[in-house]
Structure formats: C-alpha cells, structure tokens
Structure 1
Amino acid sequence: MDKIIIKDLEIFAHHGVLKEEKNLGQKFLLSFELLLDLEKASTEDNLNETVNYAKLCIDIENEFKRTKYDLIETAAEKTAGYILVHYPMIKSVKLTLKKPWAPILKTVNYVAVQIERSWHTVYIALGSNLGDKKKNLNDALNLIDKNQLCHINKVSNFYETAPVGYLDQDDFINGAAEIETLMSPLKLMDFLLEVEKKLKRERKIHWGPRTIDLDILLYDSIVTEDEHILVPHPRMHERLFVLEPLCDIAPYKMHPLLNERIIDIKNKIKK
C-alpha cells in the first residue's frame, strides 16, 4: 500500500486537563502516514484519484479545533476517525500528536501519543424467524449502515432454512453481509447486540426463535482468544445456512484457521 506523509502540521487548539490550557490554548504538532492506493493517480496524473492534502490539512485543523478535549489521546482518536470517515480513499492512518508546551514542569521537546487506525473487512451472518423476516434483515442492515463507523459493501441473497438445535420453531431467513468498520471486534459485537435489542431480540430459549440474529463470522484474517468474541465464528464451518449466503459475497475468502476457501468448505459439507 502507498503512503501520503504529512509531518508536523501546526495547529493552535485548546486541549488539556488544566483550566488554563482550555482557556489560553497552545500549539500542537500533528504528523500522519496515510495508506491508500496511489497507482491510478500516479499513472493518470489525476488529482481526483488521490487525496488533496492541502484540503485535508484544512479539514483536520477545523476538526481538531472544533471540540476541547482533556486528553491528547482523545483528540488523536477523534482526528484519526474523522480522516477515515470523511476520506474513504484512505484505508489506514498512523497519527502522531505532539504537545510541545505540555505543563509538566520539566524540560522536554514534547510529549506525544501515536495511534494507528484502519478500516477492517468483516463478514457477518444474519437470521430471522419471527415476524416479517426479510424486513428484519433489511432493518438490521440499515441500522448498521447508518453508523458512521460502519458501511456495507455487499449483501448476499436471502435463503429460507430449517432451524437447527431447537426444532419446534418456524423456518429462518438467513443472509450474510460484508461490511467495513473502524470498530474493534469487541466494540462491533457490542454494537450488533444493540441492533438486535432495537429490533426486539429476546433470548428466552437457546437457539430459539428470534426477530434477528447477528453474528461476526470473520474479521480481517484475525483469530481471537477473547471469550466474549471468538473470531472466526467457531461453528461457521459446520453450518450450510451460514456458508451458502457467505459464498454469494466471498466464495474465495480463506478461513484463517482451516486454511480453506469458503466455497471449498461449503462443498465439503454439501456432499
């Protein structure tokens, strides 16, 4: 991936814990490494295929000064998020925020924080077997897409499937979606649980009927060991109702543990 580098953009702003810092303000220096694909811009000599870094610097300054934060950690987080949301061509940001006039009663060149943030590609499964099932799936997708930290790239066909586990319930409508998100796996899971709650999901019977079910299947190519969010989904490779729609949008995606393509896993269990 190519880079645009901006070094020590100077901005006078009002971040800091102390009252004087918020009232008087001080100098901050921001540096960025922006990852994006510059091949088309360079071969066509076309500004529309790259980021106008003059405009970007003005936008960053306006955003950086818009709110007063206690911590430079928060200012850095908000700035990185702003860049990724408003400049979709940029896939990743490495941001260094320096505070040269930090009131620490010692002689230093500066104190600083450095963060890296990027868009992540995630595949989620959707299911519903209560009420207007297709509407439930579409409502969930709309709620996900309205969150500025997420956007939907692809949606599979919807499939009617028989229930698994608890059988005394109606058939499901199942689908899958590819999304990009700035959230961590745990933050994304929390957000999806909020979406389920908004759509009146109730957890009364294990594997029982539900208005909506949202599961993270794959998150980039990572493997987590957090008991609260296991990625890849531990049972996805056993479930045709997951693999079928996933093959609509990512047939050649590799399962990071099984080291097999999704379509090959599906074909194995379909025999």
Structure 2
Amino acid sequence: MDKIHIRDLELYCKHGVYPEETFLGQKFLFDVTLYTNTRPAGLTDDLEKSINYGEISNQIKDYMSKNTYKLLEAAAENLCRELLLTTKGLEKIHLEIKKPWAPVNLPLDTVSVEIERGWHTAYIAVGANMGETEKTVQEAIKEVGTIKDTTVTKVSTLIVTKPYGGVEQDDFLNGAMEVRTLLTPEELLAELHRIEAEHGRERVLRWGPRTLDLDIIFYDDLVMDSDELTIPHIDMQNRDFVVDPMAEIAPYKRHPIYGKTMKELKGELHGELIGAAK
C-alpha cells in the first residue's frame, strides 16, 4: 500500500503524569505514516483524491491541544483512532510520538511510543434455532453494526440448515456478514459474546441449541489459535451453513490456510465442479 510520511512534526502540548507537565506543557515530535492508495491522485494531479498532509498535521495539532493524556500510549492510541475515523481513504496509520524532555532526571535524547493501527475486514457467521429465530438474527446483525468502531458492510441471505454435530434439535437459521472494524480479534469476540448474552445465549451443550450464535470466521488473513479464539474458525470448510453464506458475500475470499476461495470450498462441499465447461 502507498504511504504518505510526516516526519518530526513539532508541537507544544500538555501531556504527562506530573502536574507541571499538564500545566506548563512541553515539546513533542510526531512521526506519522499514512497508508492509502495514492494512484487516483497520481493519475489526476487532484488533491481531493489523496490525503492532505497539511490538513492532517493541523488535525493532529488541534486534537492534541484539546485533549490531555497522562500516558504517551493513550495519546497515541486515541490519536490514531481519531485519524482513522475521520480521514477518507486512510486504511492504516503508523505513529511515533517522541518526548524529548521526558522528566527522568537522567541524560537522554528522547522517549517515544510507536504504534500501528488500521482498519480490518472480518467475517462473522450468525445462527439461531431457538425462539423467534429470524427476529433474533436480524436484531443481532443490527447490533453488530452498533459495536464501537465497527460497520457492517455486507449481509448474506438467511438460510435454513440442519443441525451440525449430532445433537437432536430444531433446524437453524444461518447467515454471514462482513464487517470493517478497528477492534482486535479479542475485542471483537468480547462484543459478540456480549450480544449473544443479551439474547439469552447459554453455553451448556456443545453443538446444542442456542438462541444466538456469533462466530468470527475470518479476520483479514490472520491465522491464530488461543484458548479463547481460533481464526479461521475451526472446520468451517466442512459446514454448509458457513460456507454457503460466505460464498454469497465473499466468493473470492481465500482461506488463509487451504488457499481456496469460498466459491471453491462451496463447490467441493456440494460436489460441484467449479469452472467446469457448460
């Protein structure tokens, strides 16, 4: 991805742990890398098709003047969030905040905090087979769209599927959605669990009936396995209630482990020949 650099933007701000820092203020230096697509601007020579680094510099100045933080970590986190939420075309930001006059009573050049934050694309499967399933699923989709720093960008058709896992129970209503989010996988999972709990979800029987099920299927091309979360969702390639809705909204999304698209996985699951001659 293309980059626009702002180096050593010098601002006088009032951030720090000690009272004199927040009262008197001190010098800070900002190194910013903006990740965006500069090709439209390069082809047209039109500033409106790029990110105006002058406006960004002044936005940083205004934001850091109007807000006070004790920690550089908090200042960096909140500044990145502000820029990502308000800057059209900004996909990712790399930020270093330097504090040349850090009060440590020792000779030093500078202290700094450096972070990288950006937008992520996640895919979430939704399902229910207890109560008013369609109402619950539709409400859940809307509620996912209200999660902080998260937007639902695509929603699949809802389909009725047979239960998975051998537990005798009612059919499920299933679907999938694409979301754009600033949250980490763990933060997103916590929000999904909150929504499930608000709809009466109880984790009693594995593969058993549930009022609402929200699972992260993909998060960018991340591959992770922890006690709380596995991405891609385990065994999703063998579950038609996941693969079919995913093939509808993201047919060319590739499984980061198997390297196959959702369209290909759907074909294999249903015994179809993808790309066969008509």
TM range (shorter): over 0.9
Alignment partner, residue 247 of structure 1? 247
**Contact in 1 for aligned 2:29/2:98 (Cα 8 Å):** yes
Q: Counterpart of 2:86 in structure 1: which amino acid?
A: H
Alignment partner, residue 115 of structure 1? 115
Once the two structures are superposed, the pairs formed by residues 54-133 of structure 1 within 5 Å of their partners are: 54-133=54-133
Once the two structures are superposed, the pairs formed by residues 191-210 of structure 1 within 5 Å of their partners are: 191-210=191-210
The superposition leaves residues 79-103 of structure 1 with CA deviations (integer Å, 9 ceiling, x where unpaired) of 1111111114111101010011110
SS at match of 1:35: strand
1:21 matches 2:21: yes
Distance in 2 of aligned mates of 1:140 and 1:47: 40
SS at match of 1:106: coil
Q: Counterpart of 2:216 in structure 1: which amino acid?
A: I
SS at match of 1:146: coil
Alignment partner, residue 175 of structure 2? 175
Deviation at 1:230, TM superposition (A): 0.7
Q: Counterpart of 2:239 in structure 1: which amino acid?
A: R
Q: Per the alignment, do residues 159 and 84 of structure 1 end up closer, same or farther by CA in structure 2, a change over 3 Å counting?
A: same
TM-score (structure 2 length as normaliser): 0.91
Moved more, 26-35 or 163-172: 163-172
Distance in 2 of aligned mates of 1:151 and 1:48: 24
Q: Counterpart of 2:116 in structure 1: which amino acid?
A: E
Distance in 1 of aligned mates of 2:201 and 2:267: 32
Deviation at 1:193, TM superposition (A): 0.9
Task: Give the length in aligned residue pairs.
Answer: 271
Q: Percent identity among equivalent residues? A: 39
Moved more, 58-67 or 80-89: 58-67
Deviation at 1:157, TM superposition (A): 1.0
RMSD, aligned α-carbons: 1.7
Alignment partner, residue 262 of structure 2? 262
SS at match of 1:22: helix
Q: Counterpart of 2:192 in structure 1: which amino acid?
A: L
**Contact in 2 for aligned 1:10/1:29 (Cα 8 Å):** yes
Distance in 2 of aligned mates of 1:152 and 1:48: 26
**Contact in 1 for aligned 2:6/2:32 (Cα 8 Å):** yes
Distance in 2 of aligned mates of 1:56 and 1:145: 27
**Contact in 2 for aligned 1:125/1:216 (Cα 8 Å):** yes
SS at match of 1:191: helix
**Contact in 2 for aligned 1:85/1:148 (Cα 8 Å):** no
Deviation at 1:234, TM superposition (A): 0.9
Q: Counterpart of 2:15 in structure 1: which amino acid?
A: H
1:146 matches 2:133: no
Deviation at 1:204, TM superposition (A): 3.0
Distance in 2 of aligned mates of 1:35 and 1:235: 34
Q: Per the alignment, do residues 129 and 66 of structure 1 end up closer, same or farther by CA in structure 2, a change over 3 Å counting?
A: farther
Alignment partner, residue 222 of structure 2? 222
SS at match of 1:3: strand
Alignment partner, residue 46 of structure 1? 46
**Contact in 1 for aligned 2:147/2:191 (Cα 8 Å):** no
Alignment partner, residue 33 of structure 2? 33
Moved more, 175-184 or 144-153: 144-153
Once the two structures are superposed, the pairs formed by residues 178-189 of structure 1 within 5 Å of their partners are: 178-189=178-189
SS at match of 1:51: coil
Deviation at 1:167, TM superposition (A): 4.1
Deviation at 1:166, TM superposition (A): 5.4
**Contact in 2 for aligned 1:166/1:206 (Cα 8 Å):** no
Distance in 1 of aligned mates of 2:15 and 2:152: 34
Q: Per the alignment, do residues 94 and 164 of structure 1 end up closer, same or farther by CA in structure 2, a change over 3 Å counting?
A: same
Deviation at 1:9, TM superposition (A): 1.9
TM-score (structure 1 length as normaliser): 0.94
Q: Counterpart of 2:98 in structure 1: which amino acid?
A: K
Alignment partner, residue 161 of structure 2? 161
Q: Per the alignment, do residues 130 and 61 of structure 1 end up closer, same or farther by CA in structure 2, a change over 3 Å counting?
A: farther
Distance in 1 of aligned mates of 2:94 and 2:162: 46
Gaps of 5+ in 1: none
Q: Counterpart of 2:94 in structure 1: which amino acid?
A: K
**Contact in 1 for aligned 2:51/2:88 (Cα 8 Å):** no
